[in-house]
Structure 1
Amino acid sequence: MLNFAMASFVSTWIWNERFWFPENVTWADLEHPAPGVDYPQAGHLVCALPLAVAVFILRLLFERLVAKPCANILHIQTGVRRQVQPNALLEKAYHSKASPDHRHLEQLSKQLDWDLRRVQRWFRVRRDQDRPTTETKFCESMWRFTFYSGIFIYAIYYMWDSPWIWNTRHCWNNYPFQPMIQSQYIHYVAEFAFYWSLMFSQFIDIKRKDFLIMFIHHLATILLITFSYANNMLRAGALVMCVHDASDIFLEAAKLANYAKYQRLCDALFVLFTLVFFITRLVIFPFWIIRSVLFESWEILGPYQAWWLLNSLLLVLQVLHIFWFYLIIRIAVKSIFEGKVSKDNRSDVESSSEEEINSNCSKKSI
């Protein structure tokens, strides 16, 4: 009985109309629109969860049937890795910590009666065994490049004739009674399913140094999509997604060129990526979109509880953008002044590994 009462309280609190909408707006106002008019319903996004599984399966098929043949055409080999000498003690230590400290290595050396350098070499080769092949990374990047390109082109196509893409005040006029068109729904469901697929595939994809940061990024994105859809902020939400997808296209394209060893193309795409990232995420996003959500909506609607949450999530994303751009600039500076980059310290600017756009892609000054 207590659990039921607690669940009822939580449900009431979550779906409180004063949390989601401005004054004098209720769920009933959106549940019964005029004939021929559709408003978003929170339950619509439930279908995106099984769709996320379908997206993941589609990705596996794409990588196998499209990306791998492309990798073969470009002569991207899987590579043959050296295998370590089987050793139960070292294998157990490796699964506990892949890069043990010096003291631990010395202990293992004494236990096995091995030379310290031999133990260090075993761990180095063992780590190499677990690193993904160039073909694997190529296939993953090709999938992301295809999705980001397709969804960006689709979004620009359906928004191009909309007044709110050119004048953001239209995002708030007559809010929340703004009819949802089918193209908006498709855009939202596709993005929502894709980011859910990234959320759970992150645990089986290429191991990232910035796993936690990317987890926060995916979670913030999913929350933004959910909240903006539930309270019909589709226009501002579509702009946010479109701005983010633009730079991702060039990032994944630069990776593809890197894996295919087209150095000059990789350098050019990395420069384009840096410029597009700066323009979209450090100029357009804060000074056009966040400004509209913070100030224009305040002026037209006034703040309410969900408004504060949505703006907080947008600001979290902006902090991540600043951090990622700092890492991008570090790569550019190393490329210019050192002539090479030994490791890629970016957070993949959304998905980093130890060598995404590495020394092969930045040996020449940018």
Structure 2
Amino acid sequence: MTKEMAIPQSELNVYVSSRNGPRAKETTFREWVVNNQIGISMTILAMLLALHNLYPSLRPYTQPFFQLSYYNQSGDYYVQGWDDVYFVISAALALTAVRAFAIEWVLQPLARRAGLKRKGSIRLAEQGWQAMYYGAIWAVGLYLWKNSYYWRDFGAIWTEWPARPLSGLMKWYLLVELAFLVQQIFVIHVEERRKDHYQMLSHHIITSTLLSSAYIYGFYNVSNVVLCLMDVVDFLLPSAKILKYLKFENACNVAFGVFMSVWFVTRHVLYNMLWWSIYKNVPAQMSYGCYSGVNAEMISENGYPDAFAYLFAPFRGLENPICMNRTIKWIFLSFLLSLQGLSIVWFTMIVRVAYGVVVTGNAEDTRSDEEDEVEIEGRALPNGSVRLAAQDGANAASVVNDGAPGLDRRRSNGTASLRARGRGRVPFDQSDRKALLGRIGCEKPT
């Protein structure tokens, strides 16, 4: 290969060389969806909005897409119901469009202006979107928690159950969080599959199932606390990665050290205190039995009516009885413990990297094979030949992978990459033992 030869990664997916010049390659449906996320999402929302405004008779059916349902004017509160599903759908579509717009039209151009190459700018843009979303939604969740009666008191979370009313802000917060999880399930399937695909899929399915079930059962308070404990970590790691891509090494060292500390405190101390509170305080605060779905008064001390049908009664209608017993308690506990198990797996991988830095002076990423990645950039020439120019990918090797609440993600946006795969080791200067944990993910590979 001569120095004149260069082909962009994107064109590897678009052109196939021939004697008569480059020939267009057929685009797959997945690639088409990825490249048209803004158009698809906005078209669907625009059609719904047009039907809502042009046909007043359809407004009872279209209105739930655009505003919260089940508002009680006399009490100035909301309750839940099946029409909330429509709001989740429209919010997921809106988040898809906003994400694509923010990455492609705002964050990526800013990254290129900051001097990053194409691959680095894409990665920074993706991390920027994560930081934007989680920073905003965590602030809302923390505001709700800070101004609640259960602030710094896990036992108080259960005192008002099974009261169904909730504020408009709390309802919006929970439904947007659920919409984001649904949107993330869509993203990991249409974009290029990553090594931690099934871990992330399990995480999103467990979290969305837990959040939706807790919402229907009226566990708004515990949902608020769990999301706050989770979201702060998902905000800190992208922030540290952004500092890395911008080559603010010292700031990244500090940010990543803060990330690891906050992860441990929130996900392995406070989170465990929360599920222990469920195990210990729920029987004390909630009398086992069945309650009216209308006025929340106990109607039976028997918490196991009609075999297992009682489990799904709140899903079938708000007026149906809602029961509490050991089985229901352990169902929710099992979901929470499953999330704790995934967090332990991810944190173990991060600690393993830290241990490698301390003991050997180098770190091995146990999850990512993105090392020695080479970006291919270039263009097709008029005579049908192609100009090739390979250049090192910016921040191609990464110690910590962004896939879990924090491991390096790649995406398919019509681009591809050629990489020489190594053994996943990122060497560090043996003499550099300062800020051992903070260096992980921040030092540029040598």
2:407 paired with 1:352: yes
Q: TM-score, normalised by structure 1?
A: 0.70
Per the alignment, residue 48 of structure 1 pairs with 88
CA distance in 2, matches of 1:210, 1:338: 26
Per the alignment, residue 276 of structure 2 pairs with 291
The one-letter amino acid paired with 2:360 is E
Deviations 1:286-320 (A, max 9, x none): 11x11222221122223534333211110100111
Asked if 2 retains the 8 angstrom alpha-carbon contact of 1:67 and 1:142, the reply is yes
Per the alignment, residue 74 of structure 2 pairs with 35
2:151 paired with 1:158: no
Would you identify which runs of 4 or more consecutive aligned residues in structure 1 move more than 4 Å? Answer: 31-34, 357-364
Deviations 1:193-219 (A, max 9, x none): 111111110123454211101100000
Asked if 2 retains the 8 angstrom alpha-carbon contact of 1:209 and 1:352, the reply is no
Question: 1:317/1:183 Cα in 2 relative to 1: closer, same or farther (>3 Å)?
Answer: same
Q: TM-score, normalised by structure 2?
A: 0.58
CA distance in 1, matches of 2:278, 2:80: 19
Q: CA deviation at 1:245?
A: 0.4
The one-letter amino acid paired with 2:142 is I
2:117 paired with 1:77: yes
Question: 1:333/1:32 Cα in 2 relative to 1: closer, same or farther (>3 Å)?
Answer: closer
What's the C-alpha RMSD, in Å, of the aligned pairs? 2.6
CA distance in 2, matches of 1:215, 1:265: 32
2:239 paired with 1:275: no
2:223 paired with 1:237: yes
Asked if 1 retains the 8 angstrom alpha-carbon contact of 2:78 and 2:171, the reply is no
Question: 1:171/1:43 Cα in 2 relative to 1: closer, same or farther (>3 Å)?
Answer: farther
Q: CA deviation at 1:43?
A: 3.6
Q: How does 1:178-327 map to 2 (within 5 A)?
A: 178-205=164-191, 207-287=193-273, 289-301=274-286, 302=288, 303-304=324-325, 305-327=327-349
1:138 to 113, 116, 124: 124
The count of residues paired between Structure 1 and Structure 2 equals: 280
Unaligned runs of 5+ in 1: 1-30, 79-132
Mean Cα deviation higher: 234-243 or 40-49? 40-49
Question: 1:164/1:194 Cα in 2 relative to 1: closer, same or farther (>3 Å)?
Answer: same
Deviations 1:57-83 (A, max 9, x none): 1100111222113202321111xxxxx
CA distance in 1, matches of 2:231, 2:206: 15
Q: CA deviation at 1:151?
A: 0.7
CA distance in 1, matches of 2:188, 2:133: 16
CA distance in 1, matches of 2:116, 2:71: 56
Per the alignment, residue 176 of structure 1 pairs with 162
Structure 2 counterpart SS, 1:265: helix
Asked if 2 retains the 8 angstrom alpha-carbon contact of 1:344 and 1:358, the reply is no
CA distance in 1, matches of 2:267, 2:340: 7
Asked if 1 retains the 8 angstrom alpha-carbon contact of 2:95 and 2:183, the reply is yes
Unaligned runs of 5+ in 2: 1-69, 289-323, 368-399, 411-423, 438-446
Asked if 2 retains the 8 angstrom alpha-carbon contact of 1:159 and 1:165, the reply is yes
Asked if 1 retains the 8 angstrom alpha-carbon contact of 2:210 and 2:335, the reply is yes
Q: CA deviation at 1:257?
A: 1.6
Structure 2 counterpart SS, 1:329: helix
CA distance in 1, matches of 2:161, 2:250: 48
CA distance in 1, matches of 2:107, 2:427: 21
CA distance in 2, matches of 1:276, 1:45: 33
Question: 1:361/1:269 Cα in 2 relative to 1: closer, same or farther (>3 Å)?
Answer: farther
Question: 1:45/1:286 Cα in 2 relative to 1: closer, same or farther (>3 Å)?
Answer: farther
CA distance in 1, matches of 2:131, 2:427: 20
Question: 1:226/1:42 Cα in 2 relative to 1: closer, same or farther (>3 Å)?
Answer: farther
Per the alignment, residue 64 of structure 1 pairs with 104
Mean Cα deviation higher: 310-319 or 261-270? 261-270
Structure 1 counterpart SS, 2:78: coil
The one-letter amino acid paired with 1:278 is F
Question: 1:33/1:153 Cα in 2 relative to 1: closer, same or farther (>3 Å)?
Answer: closer
Q: CA deviation at 1:325?
A: 1.2
CA distance in 2, matches of 1:353, 1:336: 22
Per the alignment, residue 332 of structure 1 pairs with 354
The one-letter amino acid paired with 2:165 is P
Asked if 2 retains the 8 angstrom alpha-carbon contact of 1:155 and 1:187, the reply is yes
CA distance in 1, matches of 2:201, 2:283: 30
Q: CA deviation at 1:254?
A: 1.5
The one-letter amino acid paired with 2:332 is L
Q: CA deviation at 1:338?
A: 2.7
CA distance in 1, matches of 2:230, 2:428: 23
Structure 2 counterpart SS, 1:341: strand
CA distance in 1, matches of 2:111, 2:145: 34
Q: Per residue, is there more strand in 1 or in 2?
A: 2
